[in-house]
């Protein structure tokens, strides 16, 4: 549990003149669950997307499980296959059934035979509680079900790390619980997880560590109960006040 699996050093990302990340250092140990919180535009999604190089960093180093992704000789497709990602907008393949969504990358990227891929897929569908939806099309599922399928799809690649980019932000409130439940189970099973989220309760209960980002920097970092329960930084305090009690802290 002490071996680092993600090592980010001096990570910078600029879109043209806009500097979104201004030097991020982060080490995540195997099996750790790290939640990243912060106001919108703070760079937390961009940071997450740099971990599997969906965004190419302007400067800095990203190492995942001993492979330096930012190295020019790195086989990025191979490296990405070991990092699962779950998106805010689900992004299920609209033209494929749920089962095919789970098997297509296993077969085309990992070269697994069809039978094996389907077995893995069904195992993971069972894990997210959607075994009976294998034959459905994504459009027939609710948002919460789609996101659980998306998690199962990522898990079917047997990733070392799972990245979650605001996985519940696009969901109707009553569907959030199912998705968080699956994520909590995943954390209990020992998966290494990096989660960008606005769900403070989830972060508090599940995260080993919480990062508060603002303005392209990690402002505060520590145990969940410390960062959320007793933040040291003023910026963290005012952000949490707005998130946890928006009615009374508007414009604070």
Binding residues for another protein, per CB under 8 A? 40, 45, 52, 54, 77-78, 80-85, 87-95, 104-105, 108-110, 138-139, 141, 143, 146, 150, 153-154, 157, 170
Neighbours of 243 (CB within 10 A): 16
Residue nearer to another protein on the CB measure, 171 or 228: 171
Q: How far is the CB of 69 from another protein (least distance, A)?
A: 12
The kind and range of the H/E element at 51 are helix 44-51
- Across the strands, what pairs with 29? 4
Q: For another protein, give the closer residue by CB, 47 or 154.
A: 154
CA distance 193 to 208: 10
SS3 169: coil
Tell how strand 161-165 and strand 209-214 pair up: unpaired
- DSSP 8-state assignment for residue 138: G
User: Min. distance of Cβ 130 from another protein in angstroms?
Assistant: 15
- State the minimum distance, in angstroms, from the CB of residue 248 to another protein: 26
Cβ 85 to another protein, closest distance in Å?
4
**In the bound complex, what is the minimum distance in angstroms from residue 187's beta carbon to another protein?**
20
The string of DSSP letters for 13-39 reads EEETTEEEEEEEEEEEETT-EEEEE--
d(CA 62, CA 60): 7
Nearer to another protein, 172 or 188 (CB): 172
- What span, in angstroms and rounded, lies between the C-alpha atoms of 153 and 108? 14
Complex with another protein: residue 106 or 236, whichever CB lies closer: 106
If the CB atoms of residues 20 and 224 are measured against another protein, the closer one turns out to be: 20
Q: Say if CB 151 and CB 121 are below 8 A apart.
A: no
Nearest to 186 by CA among 211, 212, 210, 164: 164
Least gap, CB of 15 to another protein (angstroms): 9
CB of 107 to another protein, least distance (A): 10
Nearer to another protein, 196 or 228 (CB): 196
Rounded CA-CA distance 52/64 in Å is 9
Q: Pick between residue 90 and residue 202 the one whose CB is nearest to another protein.
A: 90
């Amino acid at each position: 549990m002490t071996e680092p699996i993600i090592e980010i050093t001096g990570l910078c990302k600029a879109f043209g003149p806009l500097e979104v990340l201004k030097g991020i250092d982060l080490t995540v140990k195997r099996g750790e669950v790290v939640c990243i919180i912060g106001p919108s535009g703070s760079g937390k999604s961009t940071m997450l997307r740099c971990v599997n190089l969906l965004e190419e960093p302007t400067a800095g180093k990203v190492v995942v499980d001993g492979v330096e992704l930012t190295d020019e000789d790195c086989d990025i497709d191979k490296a990405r296959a070991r990092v699962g990602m779950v998106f805010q907008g689900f992004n299920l393949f609209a033209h494929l059934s749920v089962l095919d969504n789970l098997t297509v990358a296993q077969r085309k990227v990992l070269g697994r035979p069809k039978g094996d891929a389907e077995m893995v897929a069904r195992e993971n569908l069972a894990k997210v509680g959607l075994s009976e939806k294998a034959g459905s099309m994504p459009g027939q599922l609710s948002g919460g079900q789609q996101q659980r399928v998306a998690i199962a799809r990522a898990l079917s690649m047997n990733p070392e790390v799972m990245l979650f980019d605001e996985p519940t932000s696009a969901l109707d409130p009553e569907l959030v619980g199912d998705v968080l439940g699956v994520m909590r189970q995943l954390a209990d099973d020992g998966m290494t997880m990096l989660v960008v989220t606005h769900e403070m309760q989830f972060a508090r209960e599940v995260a080993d560590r919480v990062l508060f980002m603002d303005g392209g920097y990690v402002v505060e970092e520590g145990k969940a109960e410390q960062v959320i329960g007793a933040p040291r930084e003023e910026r963290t305090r005012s952000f949490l006040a707005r998130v946890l009690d928006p009615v009374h802290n508007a414009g604070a």
